[in-house]
């Protein structure tokens, strides 16, 4: 097999610029914190060829595309027993990694946000992520409170990772070229082992707040059955996009206390 055909339904755009490929691989900086690296969507191995040269970690690849899997088996014998033919979003990663591992890839743009939600599920095991995204998405991920691009993943990622926008990538270095510019970002796990609130509730509050981002939090969070005291808090007159992670933690605890008091009052 001499090449893999890019498949539109899988969102495949194969990187063909070797300098950029090497630059992406060299963006893995926190290698002392893990011994394994998982490449998502390796395609024909433009990143893989550089990853397997490193002695700092072992390289694993995962791809849903059977054609890509066969190509990698034939062309990269060093990957023997390290090739996972599966859907990254559905695969039980605990079967393959018992300790920490990094995630890297030229991510399919149609599932890039879902990839990050999967990373967040495994945040205790994933100290570092380096990935190619649609530029618009990368800007959003790295945005700060008070900006129009700040959103759900901006908050959730910043809660657990330092987010760095590394560099922009032109469309003409891909086959086929996408209709948008691309960008590479790096996530490095921060020192927060656990948020000072119920983390499941925190995720729910952040998602609910941004799902109606044009509304004030008093209206956007109405499903939480907020009591009158919380409704009068200054946060409630604001929109989600101006709150920091710390603010959302405080808000989550307020809603938790409000729900508890109302439950006790109804007993």
Residue 267, pLDDT > 70, answer no
| Alpha-carbon span 198 to 21, nearest angstrom | 40
- Name the DSSP class of 142: T
Q: Which helix (H) or strand (E) holds 84?
A: strand 83-85
Going by C-beta distance under 8 Å and a sequence separation of 6 or more, which residues neighbour residue 242?
Answer: 145, 146
**Tokens for 54?**
């490193």
* Average pLDDT score over residue span 233-254: 95
Give the residues across from 182 on adjacent strands: 134, 169
pLDDT digits (tens, 9 = 90+) for 135-179: 999 999 999 999 999 999 999 999 999 999 999 999 999 988 888
The Cα 169–Cα 173 span in angstroms is 8
For the segment 67-88, what is each residue's pLDDT rounded down to a tens digit? 999 999 999 999 999 999 999 9
pLDDT for res 179: 86
* Residue 132, number of CB atoms within 10 A of its CB: 27
Q: Which residue has the tokens 């992406």?
A: 24
19 sits in which H/E element: helix 18-25
Alpha helices in 84-192 (DSSP H): 112-121, 135-141, 152-160
How far is the C-alpha of 6 from the C-alpha of 37, rounded, in Å?
Answer: 24
Asked if the model's pLDDT at residue 119 lies above 90, the reply is yes
> How many beta carbons lie within 10 A of that of residue 256, not counting itself?
16
* pLDDT score at 263: 65
What structural domains and CATH numbers belong to the chain?
8-189 (3.40.50.150), 199-266 (1.10.8.100)
Q: The whole model's pTM is what?
A: 0.93
Of the chain, the percentage scoring pLDDT greater than 70 comes to 96
* pLDDT higher than threshold 60 for residue 213: yes
pLDDT 10s digits, 49-71:
999 999 999 999 999 999 999 99
What's the CA gap between 141 and 160, in Å, rounded?
13
């Amino acid at each position: 097999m001499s090449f893999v055909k890019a498949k539109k339904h899988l969102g495949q755009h194969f990187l063909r610029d070797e300098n950029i490929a090497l630059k992406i691989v060299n963006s893995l900086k926190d290698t002392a914190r893990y011994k394994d690296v998982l490449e998502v969507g390796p395609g024909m191995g433009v990143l893989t060829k550089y990853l397997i040269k490193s002695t700092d970690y072992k390289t694993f690849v995962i791809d849903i595309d059977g054609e890509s899997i066969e190509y990698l088996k034939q062309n990269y014998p060093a990957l023997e027993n390290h090739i996972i033919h599966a859907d990254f979003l559905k695969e039980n990663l605990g079967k393959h990694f018992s300790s920490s591992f990094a995630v890297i890839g030229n991510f399919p743009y149609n599932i890039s946000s879902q990839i990050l939600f999967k990373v967040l599920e495994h945040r205790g095991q994933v100290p570092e992520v380096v990935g190619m995204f649609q530029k618009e998405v990368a800007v959003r991920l790295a945005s700060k409170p008070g900006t129009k691009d700040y959103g759900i993943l901006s908050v959730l990622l910043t809660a657990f990772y330092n987010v760095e926008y590394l560099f922009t990538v032109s469309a003409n270095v891909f086959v086929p070229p996408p209709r948008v510019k691309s960008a590479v970002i790096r996530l490095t796990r921060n020192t927060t082992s656990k948020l000072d609130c119920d983390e499941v509730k925190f995720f729910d509050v952040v998602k609910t707040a941004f799902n109606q981002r044009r509304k004030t939090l008093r209206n956007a969070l109405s499903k939480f059955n907020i009591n009158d005291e919380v409704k009068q808090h200054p946060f409630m007159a604001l929109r989600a996009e101006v709150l920091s992670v710390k603010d959302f933690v405080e808000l989550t605890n307020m809603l938790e206390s409000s729900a508890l008091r109302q439950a006790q009052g109804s007993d």
